Amino acid sequence: MSQTDSELTRESSGGAAPRYSRRLSDKILIAFHHACDQADFEVAEQLLHILEMMLTRRPLTPDGTRRRNMESLVAAHERLWYLRHPNTGDQ
């Protein structure tokens, strides 16, 4: 098992299904940044729409992660915008 795989899964006892240490929304955000790194902006935009749908449909969580999730979503939108408009920041 590669290091990436071992980071994403934990062995569970008793032959039960493996448990994942990252939330699906975190994995989608990672895939978004990977698409941006490869300049695949269409895929990045679609992943961002999926992430936005996931985060906005969830009820408020008592642990306070909603604000952090929304901040990550805004930062992702900003990154994609700046990547699509590289000359805007030069002014």
**What distance in Å separates the CA atoms of residue 90 and residue 79, rounded to the nearest whole number?**
15
pLDDT digits (tens, 9 = 90+) for 56-81: 886 655 666 778 888 999 999 999 99
pTM: 0.68
Whole-angstrom distance, CA of residue 35 vs CA of residue 90: 24
Q: How far lies 13's CA from each of 16, 18, 21, 72, in Å?
A: 6, 9, 15, 34
pLDDT in tens, 8-41: 444 444 556 667 788 899 999 999 999 999 999 9
pLDDT of residue 3: 44
| Residue 59 amino acid letter | P
Give me the torsion for CA of 34, 22, 81, 90, rounded to 10°.
Answer: -70
